[in-house]
Structure 1
Amino acid sequence: MMRNNFILFACFLLIVLTNAIPLHNGCVSTYEEGEQLLLLAKEFPVNSITETISDCSNSNDILQIKYIRLNPDPPLKGKQLKIDAAGYLKEQVGEGSYIDVTVKLGLIKLLQKRFDLCEESQKVNKPCPLEQGDQQLLTTIDLPKEIPPGKYIVDALVYTPDNRRIACLKAVAIFRP
């Protein structure tokens, strides 16, 4: 269940994320008592989109981000995470497109898996193929309370069937005990 939520979270975001204008200069943030997450955006040579997401795309990627809003940002274990994001697809993206996701807890690889983009997009009510043009994503994810404490690193890359990159996303989060 917990692993599926991490995967689903990464996949949801990748449907509409890439080529963001930096909205946040990477920094280490601390939070009030009761909050469980720290973000370490400085660890990647990429542009931060939100406090919890970094963009590792380039100008050749098929998806260009307009905005991403997470509430709460950063996400908290045991809470709902609302995602509002928009982007522009330079071309239609359809069957055979895939998402390569790697999730690590510290140096330990928890997951390395390839997901079908169309299957994942249907989980957030986005029909496949995704048409060229503006894309919007509004969804809510329940994050489990049982997320083990530690530093989580998520890398997600989205590709067309002919291996052209659609999007790239990196995130680093520390969940406290």
Structure 2
Amino acid sequence: MQSLPLLSFLLLFSSLVQCFPISFFNSMKTHFFDAKKLNDGADLRPINGDSPLLQCDLLEVQSLNINEIDLSPNPPVRGSELEIKAKGVLKSPTIIDYGSYIDVEVRLGYIRLISQTYDLCEQLEENDIDGLECPLQPGFYDVTKIVEIPQEVPPGTYSVNVRAYNYDDSEITCLTGDVTFP
């Protein structure tokens, strides 16, 4: 089985882990979310599973429905592995193809640590997420990825917002949350 929703999440997550192993990845996965801080929760929904992530931009048309995300352990532990499992459905007639991208923003309080755009297909290939490659066809995806959490992750509460877009700028999915790393 493939897992595009997880793919999107894992792609976002693992590419961030690879690019920003200390501050971004670890922060993103820690464990407390405050939906009230994010638009009073009007366009957010919790994602099933054991994770602090919320799906955002629910008032927008999205091609990826994320059914479940599990992080183990949750919260992640510095200096250890984190297993990420995700399940979801890429709705027809959407095909994720070359030119798709991910916008990532991470803040520590009011300080923006990361504001970066990544090529989604390139990140899939570079991070070997269950062998997924573009183009991705509509259907159910079930993906697992293991990443290393650096020991040096600094403590703090990080606000994370990740949006994935297709080559035609249509929204694939949006993930958000506040993560506290003790």
Instruction: Pick the TM interval, shorter chain.
Output: 0.7 to 0.9
SS in 2 for 1:52: coil
When the two chains are superposed, the root-mean-square deviation of aligned CA atoms in Å is 2.1
Give yes or no for the alignment of 1:39 onto 2:29.
no
Give the corresponding residue for 1:159. Answer: 165
1:69-108 equivalences in 2 (<5 Å): 69-90=70-91, 91-108=94-111
Q: Which residue of 2 aligns with 1:54?
A: 54
- 1:115-126 matches, within 5 Å, as 115-122=118-125, 123=127, 124=129, 125-126=131-132
User: What is the rounded CA distance, in whole Å, between the counterparts of 1:62 and 1:9 in structure 2?
Assistant: 16
Tell whether the 8 Å contact from 1:63 to 1:166 is kept in structure 2 after alignment: yes
Query: 1:129-170: per-residue Cα shift (whole Å, max 9, x none)?
Result: 111111121110111111111111111001112211000000
Which structure has more relative contact order (CA 8 Å, sep 6+)? It is: 2
In structure 1, what is the equivalent of residue 23 of structure 2? none
SS in 1 for 2:152: coil
Point out the structure with the larger helix share: 2
Decide whether the 8 Å contact of 1:10 with 1:154 is kept in 2: no
Question: Are the counterparts in 2 of residues 89 and 133 from structure 1 also a CA contact under 8 Å?
Answer: yes
Q: Give me the identity figure in percent.
A: 33
Unaligned 5+ segments in structure 2 are 1-8, 16-29
What's the offset of the Cα at 1:62? 0.3
Q: Tell whether the 8 Å contact from 1:41 to 1:48 is kept in structure 2 after alignment.
A: no
Distance 2:174 2:79 in 1: 27
Could you say what secondary structure the match of 2:134 adopts? coil
**Contact in 2 for aligned 1:41/1:52 (Cα 8 Å):** no
One-letter identity of the residue aligned with 2:135? P
2:140 corresponds to: 134
| TM-score under structure 1 length normalisation | 0.75
The secondary structure found in structure 1 opposite 2:135 is coil
For these two proteins, the number of residue pairs brought into alignment is 147
Distance 1:38 1:167, change over 3 A: closer
Distance across 2 between alignment mates of 1:80 and 1:145:
11
Tell me if the contact between 2:109 and 2:157 (Cα under 8 Å) persists in the aligned partners: yes
- Cα displacement (A) at 1:88: 0.8
1:39 and 1:127 mapped to 2: Cα distance?
Answer: 32
What secondary structure sits across from 2:83 in the alignment?
A: strand
